[in-house]
Chains A and B, each alone.
Chain A
Amino acid sequence: MSYSTMHLKQIFTTEKMSHCFLFAAISALLFYGFSLVG
């Protein structure tokens, strides 16, 4: 496995990505909800 592939695999780990996306999605939904109210 090349050096760059190894680093890409380290960044795009499914578990890390899913947790991060969940947090980002919650933030986005909160913002959307607030913007609908106000």
Chain B
Amino acid sequence: MEILRDPAQQNGQSSFLGFVSNVGIWLWVSSAAICFFSAITSQLVNKGSKRELLFLVGILSVILAIDDFFMIHDRYVNEKLCYLLYAIVAGTLFVRQYKNIMEINGFSFLLSGLLLALSILTDLPQSYNPFRYSYIQVFEEGFKFTGGGTWLYFSCRIASFCPTPSTTRNQVPPAKTGDF
């Protein structure tokens, strides 16, 4: 029964319990949905590599969503190992799809990566940080949320860069002179 009901409802807490964290998970899930939908439906000129980029960004978004939702790096797997894995995956994605990323919007990819890296950097040295834990937490979550928002923007850019069948099929042909 515990798995069915909302945590806030079960504990008699406010509906806004963990609200920002939940919205952060929406950002990852939205990115994944946009990428997978576009990868399946788009008619790509350069099919292989752009579809691969969409799938890779979608898969990375799903992994980040699962990690965020189930608190994998907080509870189950060593967080340094998780962060190292994310850095390797993001780096590999960047190197492998460098040309496409630069063509679409390299800046948003880099800004998103920077914000997420800042989130990790504020999270790691908590044991010897002079600031209060609550302040560090705000910065860590803030960087993560903004990084997630930028990642969603990047996903939208990739999806909009790849035309869907409806946009290519329903294009109005140029009017001929003397039509009116």
A interface residues with partner B (beta carbon < 8 Å): 7, 10-13, 16-17, 19-21, 23-24, 26-28, 30-32, 34-35, 37-38
Closest CB pairs A-B (n = 8)? A27-B149, A23-B153, A20-B108, A11-B106, A31-B145, A27-B146, A28-B146, A34-B20
CB distance from A27 to the nearest CB of B (A): 3
Q: Is B163 at the interface (CB under 8 A from chain A)? A: no
- The reply to whether B142 and A31 form a contact with Cβ atoms under 8 Å apart is yes
Range, interface on chain B: 20 to 34
Cβ contacts A to B, 29 pairs, < 8 Å: A10-B102, A11-B102, A11-B107, A16-B105, A17-B107, A19-B153, A20-B111, A20-B150, A20-B153, A21-B111, A23-B150, A24-B111, A24-B146, A24-B153, A27-B145, A27-B146, A28-B145, A28-B149, A30-B145, A31-B20, A31-B141, A32-B142, A34-B19, A34-B20, A34-B23, A35-B138, A38-B16, A38-B19, A38-B20
Interfacial chain B residues near A11, Cβ < 8 Å: 102, 106-107, 110
Closest residue to B145 on the A side, CB-wise?
A: A31
What secondary structure prevails in chain B residues at the interface with A? helix
A28 to B115, CA, bound (A): 11
CB distance from B45 to the nearest CB of A (A): 19
CB distance from A23 to the nearest CB of B (A): 4
CB distance from A32 to the nearest CB of B (A): 8
Q: Name the one of A13, A19, A31 contacting B146, with C-beta atoms under 8 angstroms.
A: A31
